[in-house]
Structure 1
């Protein structure tokens, strides 16, 4: 497992590094074919390729497993920070999010097949190369496979305390562009219509939509505009992040965002709003609660006492299957932390332990 993990961590595979992503997908194509899966590679021109591996079972049900091989790191990061083991921790770009997870998944399934476990349902593995940028090429594949799934298991990294994730917030991504009228800020200030001033009013109104009691947050994380200090700005832009716990809440908040975009604070300016809900919420339904209890039982059987569960504000591909009504459990990957930072790590002992957890849970679900 460690050798295989080292191999894929030491391949640069940022979301826009198609060559690196395709190289990793090719590795897993071979590996899953060796396990007897029928493997299809979804060829992409712009993004990295996606892989769908299927294996027919002998009991009812279809278990869908999701993983991604892209990272948030630029090409060349591997040469700066290659795969490294220090004590009980493993470091390297993507080791936590989520190359460790795709290794755990492969070895959990390999163990069951090597042992010729007698009762397995249909198994479907989907590895994509664009999750970190919102799954633009793979979303339709995930939703297609999700429609036939009994359960979905997502191999994002486990939380730092070992907890798995049973609910995630939905994610909205918007861009607001304001157009004003330029003029000289010294000699003809009154003729200008400041797009920056208009946007500033809108940002304050947007941030007031945050409601922690409902789990709703709005963040204007990027702004740009204007050209020179002595010119009244005729252009300004903001990039907006929305997080919501319930789908009904999304409809209400998005209506308010549109209202703010349509409101004029500075006469003579116009505003264009683009974007929408990128990922619906991953909801902790009664079926998810039951699924979590199966994993708690499996954890005790493999030596993981008191496997916890958490709700998180970050989205994943599990949001997409949850929206289809598929009971979805997430963060089944290795225990780790600092997911998008240079200090990203996983705990070495958790690599085998979490693979055992997933394999054991699968057996309990088909008993």
Structure 2
């Protein structure tokens, strides 16, 4: 393992250069050209490493890449990463990759979430393969739509998950360097209320305000939050009405649901339907739309074992890793939801994600690559 660590460390300049190239390519979720450019680049890279690759092309969204390599050991590992960012086209030109070695930071759109993870994964697998490390079958899936809910790649991810025995996700490491063994599931719902329009001055009494009806229901929705059970609901968007002198005949609210256990979804949805069915104002009607977008990533005995192995790799580098439950979701939720043990947040540590201050701690680019390489090497040794 010491030799593997040294090989990874020797790649630092190469990894930084690769990261700079990626960050300086605009690849927002709706910038297909940039996403496709990155996907094509890694198609060539993984082909060169002996993978059989396939680009899943999309007409409007960015393309997705699946790369498979037959291994020497039993089992199959899935690695997930996304190449899209939340930033609009032109962002990379306005604030390109910036290196600040004195502050131990690198800046740029998507540098942390999660282009550094894509770089780490490629360099770790290349190091292990070229050094002759025996591995199980490997599946790498890079998608271009994670930041918008993975609409074109979810099916690809779930199909791949059904073939594997473990999954590793290269989302950013947490501020304390923690690895993620559990994530909340996410539901996206919408309440759509219809009422009766009327002139707000001359015949206000004839109107049924959809906005008023919605205000009561927003309070009911928020009352479903239960911190002890890990359940939160948030009405984050509301809209309605046409003009201030018209009783509003329409209103809507968008709801974010987070749960820690899959069985919680059914009960919450039942209560949301009850809220929708209730009429506070006679004549007001409400429709509930939506559902669970990502199942929770629940911890398992095997994912705990994975964490312990990776934590030992960290200790050999003088790092103390901890495990974490986070409210944010990732593509790992889809895999975990199918019963595959999943370890997440294996990417570089940084902060400011989705903002103009996004950065990574530069030294963690190598550190996290060494942890991933060490953990995989140890796991592979147990497959002999």
TM range (shorter): over 0.9
Superposed displacement of residue 304, structure 1: 4.1
Separation in 2, partners of 1:284, 1:339: 25
Describe the superposition over 1:215-250 as per-residue Cα deviations: whole angstroms up to 9, x where unpaired.
Answer: 100000000111111100011111100000111111
Superposed displacement of residue 150, structure 1: 1.0
In structure 2, the partner of 1:100 is 116
- 2:330 is the alignment partner of 1:316: yes
Give matches, 1:30-45, under 5 Å: 30-45=44-59
- 2:357 is the alignment partner of 1:343: yes
In structure 2, the partner of 1:330 is 344
Name the SS of the counterpart of 1:332 in structure 2.
coil
In structure 2, the partner of 1:70 is 84
Give matches, 1:251-330, under 5 Å: 251-301=266-316, 303-330=317-344
Separation in 1, partners of 2:346, 2:267: 32
Q: Which runs of 5+ in 1 are unaligned?
A: none
In structure 2, the partner of 1:248 is 263
2:130 aligned to which of 98, 114, 137: 114
- RMSD over aligned Cα, in angstroms? 0.8
- Runs of 4+ residues deviating >3 angstroms: none
Separation in 2, partners of 1:147, 1:338: 34
Name the SS of the counterpart of 2:253 in structure 1.
strand
In structure 2, the partner of 1:90 is 106
In structure 1, the partner of 2:163 is 148
Describe the superposition over 1:1-51 as per-residue Cα deviations: whole angstroms up to 9, x where unpaired.
Answer: 111111111111111111111111011111111111111000011211000
2:186 aligned to which of 166, 171, 184: 171
Separation in 2, partners of 1:170, 1:320: 9
Describe the superposition over 1:42-74 as per-residue Cα deviations: whole angstroms up to 9, x where unpaired.
Answer: 001121100001111011010100000011111
Tell me which moved more, 154-163 or 261-270. Answer: 261-270
Separation in 2, partners of 1:138, 1:38: 18
| Change beyond 3 A, Cα 1:34–1:352 | same
In structure 2, the partner of 1:59 is 73
Describe the superposition over 1:276-302 as per-residue Cα deviations: whole angstroms up to 9, x where unpaired.
Answer: 00001101111111111111111123x
| Total equivalences in the alignment | 365
In structure 2, the partner of 1:49 is 63
Name the SS of the counterpart of 1:183 in structure 2.
coil
Separation in 2, partners of 1:66, 1:238: 33
Tell me which moved more, 244-253 or 98-107. Answer: 244-253
Give matches, 1:126-145, under 5 Å: 126-145=141-160
Name the SS of the counterpart of 1:290 in structure 2.
helix
Superposed displacement of residue 305, structure 1: 2.2
1:185 aligned to which of 181, 200, 211: 200
Separation in 1, partners of 2:275, 2:59: 38
1:238 aligned to which of 240, 253, 257: 253
Task: Please report the TM-score for the alignment, with normalisation by the length of structure 2.
Answer: 0.94
Describe the superposition over 1:74-106 as per-residue Cα deviations: whole angstroms up to 9, x where unpaired.
Answer: 111112211101231011000010000010000
Separation in 1, partners of 2:45, 2:310: 26
2:41 aligned to which of 27, 32, 35: 27
In structure 1, the partner of 2:5 is none
